[in-house]
Amino acid sequence: MHSNLVSFIQMLRSHEVRVSPAETLDAVEVAAALGYADRELLRDGLAMTLAKTAEEELIFLQCFERFFKQNLADFTAPEQADSEQADATLSDENTETSDDNFDGSPENALEQAAEDSPALRSLMQGPLMQNLLNNERNELTLAMNQAAQQVDLQQIQMFTQKGQFTRRILDAMGEEQIRRAIIELEQAGNPILPLLQRYRDMLREQVRDYVEREYLLHAEGKTQQFMDEILSKTRLNNIEHVYVGKVQNLIRKMAKKLASQYSRKRKQVKRGQLDMPKTLRKGIPNDGVMFNTYWRQVKKDKPQVLAVCDVSGSVAAYAKFLLLFLYSLQDVLPRVRSFAFSSHLGEVSQYFDDYPVEKAVELVNWKYGGATDYGNSLLDFANLALADISSNTTVIILGDARNNHGDPRLDILQSIYQRSQRVIWLNPESRRSWGTGDSEMLRYQSACHFSAECNNLVHLERIVEQLLKSTR
């Protein structure tokens, strides 16, 4: 049963419930102590061990119900229908079996036909056909479960794999014997053939349903993970509108992970060195008795981040997701100020204070979109924020550096470089395109501490993570 429990934990992980190896061992001990007889008791015990938040508990309860709910395969109705139809077929066609004192039961009909068919005789001696004839639902369900474990059905990830796993389970259960018997009966023109074909179809249908249930159980979370991976590696300007909502959710998920990883921890305040002159001076009114001591403390300025985004048509999509990422980390990234530009530049921080991030991004794109002039925009930025840049300031510039052959005003960027802690330039274009045509990237690169290609969420997450490390 431990293998089932491990499979259940893997399923929880695919649904984004965090379960560590230590918690897995705890769950095994809980299951061993509580047993599997009382399902509700086991559910409550595992929930207390594996679910750490209210959201995870809700997911746990849904997954537990689906994973441990086991319905037996239904062979009853088809068998009765088959029996009636077989009787009708046999009587209508007035076959040879009716002449041989056939009493109407499917088992007797098949046994009579097996006298002339070695393949059918071998099939009738096997457990699969006996279970089908006797409607042994428990045995057939157990055989399907064992075959599913044998072919690793729990590894199913894509809907395109359902047919493949169905075939492998049927082979593991011995369905090939039924196929051989059907071929032999067909070649001999035996009228019992439709009856055996119905048993085969009934078995296939039950296995298909079983694979479908297992796919929904195991592959749902994996499919979501696969979709997230695809979206995170897709160029942001190639993402279709229908997936924008999913990308935004993915960004929030990434931001939440980074926030939990790099959130500021409460530090013990260092009192610094004893300020002896001040301590003596404050003790004068007490005849030199130093009732109070005073310490020198060095105050550090909080770091700030200035995000400067090109929101012209070719780069607007990248700027949108960068701003969404940065403002999703407001609890971790201190003092984020944002600027948008195309032909001219303006500060847009107020938009993010007044509106939700998605709405603010739309307003920024609407107000500052247009043809690009990097030289004029850098001049506007210097007028607005150059005086506020200090050694604790990180300046992030997102743009393709295509200046339409205008003056790049490299001298302004060099001034920013000299005053700031670091200048990071994120370019959505491939490095091979830098410096081609009207691109001034190679010149701007000389005035940056770090420059990188950034055109998907993986690049964006990596850059933001480095930024968080540097601001801790």
| Cα 360 off chain centre by | 27
State how far the Cα of 160 lies from the Cα of 207, in Å rounded to an integer: 16
Please state whether 335 falls in left (phi above 0), alpha (psi between -120 and 50) or beta: left
Single pTM value for the model: 0.60
Concatenate the DSSP letters of all residues of 45-103 into one string.
HHHHHH--SHHHHHHHHHHHHHHH--PPP--HHHHHHHHHHHHHHHHHHT-HHHHTT--
State how far the Cα of 469 lies from the Cα of 411, in Å rounded to an integer: 29
Asked if residues 376 and 406 have their Cβ atoms less than 8 Å apart, the reply is: yes
Going by pLDDT thresholds of 50, 70 and 90, the confidence category of residue 88 is very low
Q: What is the mean pLDDT of the chain?
A: 81
Asked if residues 236 and 457 have their Cβ atoms less than 8 Å apart, the reply is: yes
State how far the Cα of 68 lies from the Cα of 61, in Å rounded to an integer: 11
State how far the Cα of 85 lies from the Cα of 82, in Å rounded to an integer: 5
User: What are 204-252's pLDDT values in tens digits?
Assistant: 988 998 888 888 877 777 777 777 788 788 877 777 777 777 777 777 7
Least confident span in 113-117, 156-160, 219-223, 463-467 = 219-223
User: Please, how many CA atoms are within 13 Å of residue 283, restricted to the half-sphere of its CB?
Assistant: 14
Asked if residues 56 and 20 have their Cβ atoms less than 8 Å apart, the reply is: no
Per DSSP, what are the bridge partners of residue 304? 393
State how far the Cα of 418 lies from the Cα of 421, in Å rounded to an integer: 8
Q: What is the pLDDT of residue 73?
A: 65
Residue 97, both tokens:
């079996």
User: What are 415-457's pLDDT values in tens digits?
Assistant: 999 999 889 998 888 888 888 888 889 999 899 998 888 888 8
10 Å CB burial of residue 467 (0-12, 13-18, 19+) is buried
User: What are 352-375's pLDDT values in tens digits?
Assistant: 778 877 777 778 777 877 778 888
| H-run or E-run covering 307 | strand 304-310
Q: What is the pLDDT of residue 332?
A: 65
User: What are 155-188's pLDDT values in tens digits?
Assistant: 787 778 889 999 999 999 988 888 888 898 888 8
| H-run or E-run covering 179 | helix 175-188
> Pseudo-torsion of CA 338, 342, 345, 348, nearest 10°?
-30
Cβ contacts of 391 within 8 Å, gap of 6 or more: 419, 420, 421
Q: What is the pLDDT of residue 94?
A: 45
